Structure 1
Amino acid sequence: MTEMSTAALPGLTWADHSGVLVVTMDRPPANALNRSLIVGLYTFFTELASHAAPAPVVLTGAGARFFTAGGDIKELEGTGPAEIEGRMRDFHALLVALDRFPRPLIAAVNGHCVGGGMELALFADTILATANAKFGFPEINHGLLPADKGLRRAEYILGTRAVRSMVLSGDLFSVEQAVSIGLVDRVEQADTLLAAAIETARTAGAKAPVLYRALKRSVNDPDDVRDERSLVDTIDAAKAYFEDPAAAALRAGWNRDRISRTAPADR
């Protein structure tokens, strides 16, 4: 895996830290999840999982402000239902790959972790975050919806009441609240976050792989039938909201404002 050309996976880089792979989403200014990055992450995790002894992974974002700001709304401009369906299929496939990744996966959240980024982090075994990290599902305010599989995972980890509040308000919340609800395992200083995540991954990776795989599968409880139902629900919802005038107006408004909020100087 480490011999693959990073040029083949735009917006994604990785480095081997003595047996721990640090995978970095790198799309300035906010590491937004466009379709090529989603497919790249899927490719990375599925290919790595196919190895006899996959390395532990730390997933993080480039820069100091964003783990990832979630889906790239700009990419949706001028697209139609077929494109949004393809994008949602790709994102669902990525979540399935993360759900089934058999080795340690640590999220090193270095800033905003919202929308699709929140969904990615929820499939990590451990989440470490900096004090400036923000979390949430803001889609209702931006004319979008999370993937059904991501919401089911959030409910499984955090509970129905907490997730209901998150998704219906769209409000972001602090790392302190994330710790209190069991989303974040530990807060780290920005300059020690990556080292702490690598050490966490290395410690977990030292466990017997066959046992780690079996226990992780039991805890995550992956289910093909349930996943297919989630995919159908996600696509049906996307078809309903994508051309809805109110949702489209929210996306357009968010797009107009996003450049000032994610200026490169702030990264």
Structure 2
Amino acid sequence: MSKPLVTYEKRGFVSVITIDNPPLNILTDQLVHELDGVIDDVLSDQGCRAIVLTATGEKAFMAGADITQFDSLTPEAGRELVEKGKVVFNKLENASMPVICAMNGLALGGGLELALACDIRIADKKAKMGLPETGLGILPGYGGTQRLTRLIGPGKTKELIFTGAILTADEAYQYGLIEKVVENGESRQAALALAEKIATKAPVAITVAKATIHQGMDVSLEEGQDIETNAFMKLCETSDIQEGFQAFMEKRTPNFTGK
């Protein structure tokens, strides 16, 4: 029996999903299938408050999709291919808890699109990333044209996709594509540290804050503020708000239960 391409482990309130398809962690159909199952397992864990997505090896987080799939694609097969990936990536984006991506090397094509589906991206200095699909006669099909535009704006997105440019980690940070650059070999630990910090906060508040940010991105400021107000009202009914207040008054660390 072959070893799994995707695994996860629990570290307190943090679940760590690890991609392990050496040497470049290529996004094969089997990897997509396994990632789907692992994400379902993690999302069903009521004790999970944050997710870290990482990969093994030193060369790549994920150096793209399996391009051998593209040789004889029909329009129907192309639709099936990208929609299968979108379902999985969307699960990460819509997870109730924050998802932090640790990028230890190359993140190209589908690999970068997977990272874009996460809430926060941390990269080693040596990491390089880009969407080179137009050089193969296709475009980013796992949500890249849409998520990258929302992240860095249409102009920069067009420049990157039209040229297929590969950015260094520092350049990606300047573009606003990633949130932090760390020394080589430190992205996983940095992502874990951030996830553990997030896990100390009120889980319901984090879940509602994430949903509020997402819902407000595509509406007017006025509509977004209405969403925010309703979210605030919802949190006023939780046990966690009472625990947060009591802990503050008693000068102690709160013990949030997510209720």
TM-score by length of 2: 0.76
1:87 counterpart residue number: 81
Shift of 1:75: 3.7
1:138 counterpart residue number: 132
- Judging changes above 3 Å, is the alpha-carbon distance between structure 1 residues 150 and 65 closer, same or farther for their aligned structure 2 residues? same
Q: Match for 1:182 among 173, 176, 184?
A: 176
- Please, which runs of 5 or more residues in structure 1 have no aligned partner? 1-6, 224-267
Q: Which amino acid aligns with 1:70?
A: G
2:102 counterpart residue number: 108
SS of residue paired to 1:173: strand
Q: Match for 1:206 among 189, 200, 203?
A: 200
Residues 106-126 of structure 1: per-residue CA shift (max 9 Å, x gap) = 110000111111111112222
Shift of 1:128: 0.9
Residues 182-222 of structure 1: per-residue CA shift (max 9 Å, x gap) = 11211112232222111111111222111111111121239
Shift of 1:144: 2.5
Is the 1:104–1:205 contact (alpha carbons within 8 Å) kept by the matching residues of 2? no
Residues 148-167 of structure 1: per-residue CA shift (max 9 Å, x gap) = 63321111111111100011
CA RMSD of aligned residues (A): 2.3
Tell me how far apart the structure 1 counterparts of residues 117 and 3 of structure 2 sit (CA, whole Å). Answer: 21
- Please, which runs of 5 or more residues in structure 2 have no aligned partner? 218-259
Tell me how far apart the structure 2 counterparts of residues 220 and 123 of structure 1 sit (CA, whole Å). Answer: 12
SS of residue paired to 1:124: coil
Q: Which amino acid aligns with 1:32?
A: I
Q: Which amino acid aligns with 2:50?
A: P
Comparing 114-123 with 188-197, which one deviates more in the overlay?
Answer: 188-197
Q: Match for 1:52 among 42, 46, 49?
A: 46
Which segments of structure 1 move beyond 6 Å, counting only runs of 4 or more?
A: none
- Judging changes above 3 Å, is the alpha-carbon distance between structure 1 residues 40 and 148 closer, same or farther for their aligned structure 2 residues? closer
Tell me how far apart the structure 1 counterparts of residues 129 and 15 of structure 2 sit (CA, whole Å). Answer: 24
TM-score by length of 1: 0.74
Q: Which amino acid aligns with 1:193?
A: S
Q: How many residues align?
A: 217
Tell me how far apart the structure 2 counterparts of residues 78 and 164 of structure 1 sit (CA, whole Å). Answer: 27
Equivalent residues in 2 for 1:113-192, closer than 5 Å: 113-147=107-141, 149-192=143-186
Q: Whose radius of gyration is greater, 1 or 2? A: 2
1:31 counterpart residue number: 25
- Judging changes above 3 Å, is the alpha-carbon distance between structure 1 residues 148 and 126 closer, same or farther for their aligned structure 2 residues? closer
2:16 counterpart residue number: 22
Which structure ranks higher in relative contact order (CA pairs < 8 Å, sequence separation ≥ 6)?
A: 1
